[in-house]
Structure 1
Amino acid sequence: MSMFALSGDKFVELFDFNAKLVCMVKTSVESQAPAKRPKHAVKRQILLDEAARQINDRGAGAVSLNDIAECAGLSRNALYYYVTDRADLTFQCYLRTCEAATENLAAAYEQGRDAIERIRIYTERTLSFDQPTLAALCDPDFLPEPHRATILDLHRRNIETLENFIQDGISEGVIRPTHTEIAAQTLHGMINWTQLSHKWLNQKDGNALRKRLTGAILDLFFFGLAASEGKKFSCPVDVVTLTTRPFNAFDRAQATQEKIAQLVAAASRMFNRRGIDGASLDDISASVGATKGAVYHYFDDKMDLITQCYERAFDLYSMFVDVAVAQGTTGFERSMIVMHLNSQAQAGPTPPLMLQPGLLSVPESHRARFVQQSLDIWRRCEALIRQGIEDGTCRPCDARAVSSVSAGSFLWLHKWLPEDYALTPFQLADTQCRILINGIACR
């Protein structure tokens, strides 16, 4: 059965262009590598597997070419037959991620009978533990042009294809009317987070965990969290009001703390949008009208700034759960307040730092504390869903897995959200929460 015989014109155009572009770029990259003898092809795959793991663990700018070469069984000199430098290695890993997404979307279209089944196949193929290790597209700004633009364009076209799946499902009557872009990005965010979350939640990545989390993503995305059909929810809290704090500009100590807070908030926003390795201290200082010297006046180095960004993030994530417990009356309401506040915050101008690649680059003393804080928040969110199942307001589900994967829906918001997006942060959170309340599938 031919995909092209079945597909609509728009899908054919998107997929065909993406496939040709991936092939063209891949051919260009491989032309600079050794001749494609079987031994070299295998070595290249091992090299990209190890590089993707390090990118996910340490961030693109912190990978060690020596370590990667050693794990791939190559000398440092032999490594340069395959890549020219760290940026080229990252580009090849990101290119493989885009290529895998294009192939998985094509396979899903071929094999799926309707949009629901195609989304399921795509998600299962992408998260299969048997697939090669893929680098999360978190640091594209680390790449020089034109490589950065190439990756962003390939990724955009893959997301548009996923949007077309959802739109087709609405036309077929198997998916309820929804905001297709936000729905596609919500699913993509949960998939991306699942490939990284085991580090932050102290889990062992493997086939059993991937299957469990894949099932949780599909259950939540298709059917939502609410026990009753057409459940309504209105968040009682605006995150701006919640996080705004008065200060006395004439109090020197308070003024200093406010400057530090502004730099940390600006850095968090920049790191979320460009990746930790894609945002420089010059970029961060310029965004608040300061100099690089001003950043070094308040922080020892970039890692000190990153650490303080994570400390602020966990303070906010924990506060959102506290507020949800105080404001909600059922497990469902409390769970959705947590989701809504996190979506508002990530869509706003001063978001918390998202949990992203680079955990292993954080100093060990801070890393252990951050992982413990991640676990504490995860367990509290799981408890809220369990409470909802017990009080009858949440559907029976794998509460532990759902509380894990749902974080991906808001953690990845800043990666795609345009600066001039039509919806306000509160409206965007409303739209995203409607997807997670009732799911996209017509029950």
Structure 2
Amino acid sequence: MARFFDVKVCLPIQTSKLWPFWNQSSKIEAMAINPTSRATASRPKRAVKREALLDEATRQINMRGAGAVSLNAIAEAAGLSRNTLYYYVSDRADLAFRCYLRTCEANTEDLAIAIEQGSNICERIEHYIARTLTNSRHPLAVLSDQDFLPEPQRSMIGELNRRNVETLKALINDGIETDQIRAVQSEIAAQALLGMINWSQLSAMWLGQRDGRSFRRRASAAIADLFFNGIAANRGERFDNSLDATQLITQPVNPFDRMQASQQKMLQLIGAASRLFNRRGLDGASLDEIGAGVGVTKGAVYHYFDDKTDLILRCYERGFELYDIFMDAAIAQGTNGFERSMAVMHLNCQAQASAAPPLMLQPGLWALPEAQRNRFIAAASDLWKRSNAMLQAGVNDGSCRHCDAAMIAEVSAGAFLWLPKWLPENYPLSPPAIADQLCDLLTFGVAKR
């Protein structure tokens, strides 16, 4: 059954100010869109089956994307017939909505309990990280394909998620005001933390690892360590970036060369598609919208790509090419493990905040053809191993703190991969300035020294 919480009741008075965005209207809206929730209270068996259905659907959404899940496969895995499935949900979009709604409610609950149980701000944030990743309950859907949902469900999930983000931001701001957290940009800090948490629910799949409780506990500990303490061994050491991601990926083009001009147009389409896929999810962006982004029709898009899957594959291929370019440039530029690790982070942040970013690693990997999927997993794993090697070299040369280098190299990617999901069009900071803020956060952490 759907869970709702009047958090002002369960929180002590001194922390209730962190919850200005939740009210009873959310409960009313959710019950209106979720009419079966009351019925399941008197039918425990049906409630159990419904939760099993949402569990399997959530796993499939994270693997295949909201628009590519198979209702037949989900029903079979949940022990339901196809006809019985329609007792619980009306269609694929309704199923995705219910999974996203349950995730938002779980995040609200995790924040409320963490705030209630923690004795200080840092403890509360640490409790929240641990509850989200290690609590033995239902799986959580990464909120990447919200634009796949129709209205008003899309707006509702966006609003519930916004309230949870605002609560986390308020928690960070409260820590700054009470001198428990150093002065940081709370929006960037909150979103970086959420990005690492969300990526940790996908990274095992993308890196060919085994997900499970031990992996989640290790990821939770690494995220907390990185968020609070950063990676720099010396608190006085700062990273000054001299690399420009745009210059690294821009190639000279002869406009009078037909082949080069055609190649440039295709790259523009790939860049526009990557940007839209990053913001709206692979299932939330249409070919019409992608073509409009560069001023061409859907027919022109089909001139360069066989179909949407072909376009997605080309976007990932370009993405991994750029990720390798950034890695090579960081290795060449840095003089120690810390500088190289931060250079990779800075370049990736710049790129994801730009107008033509690399395609982020996101839900939908298992919807791709097997051969290409395995190739992308191998490429992602290679990037992670190189990042781990740089960070471990920093530990060895004394420029980085002693830490779980392999896991921090893994979870830290979420800080830049999540950027397109929250960064508004009119954000006041430039891509290099956003990269500066994120690198400062991951250099020193937020804990006050």
Q: TM-score, normalised by structure 2?
A: 0.96
Partner in structure 2 of residue 264 of structure 1? 270
Correspondence for 2:112 among 106, 127, 132: 106
Cα shift readout 1:412-435 (whole Å, capped 9, x = no counterpart): 100000001000000000001100
Does the Cα contact within 8 Å between 1:331 and 1:394 map onto a contact in 2? yes
Distance in 1, Cα, partners of 2:223 & 2:323: 21
Distance in 1, Cα, partners of 2:405 & 2:181: 24
Partner in structure 2 of residue 75 of structure 1? 81
Distance in 2, Cα, partners of 1:338 & 1:84: 45
1:28 positional shift? 2.3
Structure 2 residue 178 is the aligned partner of structure 1 residue 189: no
Amino acid in the other structure paired with 1:74: L
Partner in structure 2 of residue 387 of structure 1? 393
Does the Cα contact within 8 Å between 1:22 and 1:95 map onto a contact in 2? no
Distance in 1, Cα, partners of 2:350 & 2:121: 29
Structure 2 residue 19 is the aligned partner of structure 1 residue 12: yes
> 1:362 and 1:53, CA in 2 relative to 1: closer, same or farther beyond 3 A?
same
Does the Cα contact within 8 Å between 2:228 and 2:445 map onto a contact in 1? yes
Does the Cα contact within 8 Å between 1:55 and 1:135 map onto a contact in 2? yes
1:129 positional shift? 5.3
Correspondence for 2:35 among 31, 43, 53: 31
1:75 positional shift? 1.1
Partner in structure 1 of residue 214 of structure 2? 208
1:236 positional shift? 1.1
Distance in 2, Cα, partners of 1:218 & 1:301: 42
- Any gaps of 5 or more consecutive residues in structure 1? none
Amino acid in the other structure paired with 1:415: K
Distance in 2, Cα, partners of 1:406 & 1:165: 21
Amino acid in the other structure paired with 1:300: D
Structure 2 residue 3 is the aligned partner of structure 1 residue 3: no
SS at match of 1:80: helix
More divergent stretch after superposition (374-383 vs 234-243)? 234-243
Amino acid in the other structure paired with 1:253: M
SS at match of 1:343: helix
Distance in 2, Cα, partners of 1:253 & 1:30: 54
Structure 2 residue 163 is the aligned partner of structure 1 residue 146: no
Distance in 2, Cα, partners of 1:162 & 1:371: 32
Structure 2 residue 238 is the aligned partner of structure 1 residue 235: no
1:232 positional shift? 1.1
Distance in 2, Cα, partners of 1:224 & 1:32: 46
Distance in 1, Cα, partners of 2:26 & 2:114: 18
More divergent stretch after superposition (234-243 vs 192-201)? 234-243
Query: Where in structure 2 are the equivalents of 1:165-184 lying within 5 Å?
Result: 165-184=171-190
Does the Cα contact within 8 Å between 2:10 and 2:112 map onto a contact in 1? no
Does the Cα contact within 8 Å between 2:352 and 2:358 map onto a contact in 1? yes
Correspondence for 2:287 among 260, 281, 290: 281
Does the Cα contact within 8 Å between 1:267 and 1:284 map onto a contact in 2? yes
Query: Where in structure 2 are the equivalents of 1:242-391 lying within 5 Å?
Result: 242-391=248-397
Cα shift readout 1:88-144 (whole Å, capped 9, x = no counterpart): 000000000100000000001100111100100001000015121111000010001
Cα shift readout 1:382-433 (whole Å, capped 9, x = no counterpart): 0000110011000000110000000000001000000010000000000011
1:12 positional shift? 3.3
SS at match of 2:261: helix
> 1:21 and 1:123, CA in 2 relative to 1: closer, same or farther beyond 3 A?
farther
Structure 2 residue 407 is the aligned partner of structure 1 residue 438: no
SS at match of 1:351: coil
Amino acid in the other structure paired with 2:13: A
Q: TM-score, normalised by structure 1?
A: 0.97
Correspondence for 2:140 among 134, 137, 140: 134
Identity across matched positions, percent: 57
Distance in 1, Cα, partners of 2:124 & 2:40: 37
Does the Cα contact within 8 Å between 2:19 and 2:167 map onto a contact in 1? no
Does the Cα contact within 8 Å between 1:112 and 1:118 map onto a contact in 2? yes
Structure 2 residue 434 is the aligned partner of structure 1 residue 428: yes
Distance in 1, Cα, partners of 2:95 & 2:40: 18
Structure 2 residue 58 is the aligned partner of structure 1 residue 52: yes
1:254 positional shift? 0.3
1:373 positional shift? 0.4
Does the Cα contact within 8 Å between 1:65 and 1:86 map onto a contact in 2? yes
Does the Cα contact within 8 Å between 2:270 and 2:315 map onto a contact in 1? yes
- Any gaps of 5 or more consecutive residues in structure 2? 1-8
1:173 positional shift? 1.2
SS at match of 2:295: coil
More divergent stretch after superposition (124-133 vs 143-152)? 124-133
More divergent stretch after superposition (27-36 vs 358-367)? 27-36
Amino acid in the other structure paired with 2:391: I
Distance in 2, Cα, partners of 1:177 & 1:57: 37
Distance in 1, Cα, partners of 2:238 & 2:57: 45
Amino acid in the other structure paired with 1:353: L
SS at match of 1:13: coil
> 1:126 and 1:80, CA in 2 relative to 1: closer, same or farther beyond 3 A?
same
Distance in 1, Cα, partners of 2:441 & 2:236: 11
Cα shift readout 1:58-91 (whole Å, capped 9, x = no counterpart): 0000000111111111111111111111000000
Partner in structure 1 of residue 6 of structure 2? none
